[in-house]
C-alpha cells in the first residue's frame, strides 16, 4: 500500500471514531469556527479528498475544475 493511502485510511478511521458519538442533530449545530456546522466541515474535507483522487484518476477532469 502506498504510504499516502495508509495515511488517508488512518485519518479516515480517526475521523470516524470522533464522529461516532455525535447525534444527527449535532451535525447541523454551528461550531466555533465561523459558525460552520460539522456537516460544512465534512463537506470541505470530502471535496478535498475527491479532488485529490480525481487529480490521480482523471487529470483532465481535475483541470476542468480550475
Each residue's pLDDT expressed in tens, for the chain with a length of 66 residues: 678 778 888 999 999 999 999 999 999 999 999 999 999 999 999 998 888 888 888 888 888 877
Nearest to 41 by CA among 4, 54, 49: 49
In this structure, are residues 55 and 44 in contact, taking their beta carbons and an 8 Å threshold? no
Residues counted in the chain: 66
The reported pLDDT for the residue numbered 1 is: 64
In our burial notation (b when 16+ CB lie closer than 10 A, e otherwise), range 24-43 reads eeeeeeeeeeeeeebebeee
Amino acid at each position: 500500500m502506498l504510504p499516502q493511502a495508509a495515511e488517508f485510511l488512518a485519518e479516515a478511521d480517526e475521523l470516524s471514531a470522533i464522529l461516532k458519538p455525535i447525534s444527527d442533530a449535532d451535525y447541523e449545530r454551528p461550531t466555533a469556527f465561523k459558525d460552520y456546522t460539522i456537516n460544512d466541515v465534512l463537506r470541505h474535507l470530502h471535496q478535498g479528498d475527491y479532488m485529490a483522487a480525481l487529480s490521480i484518476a482523471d487529470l483532465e477532469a481535475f483541470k476542468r475544475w480550475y
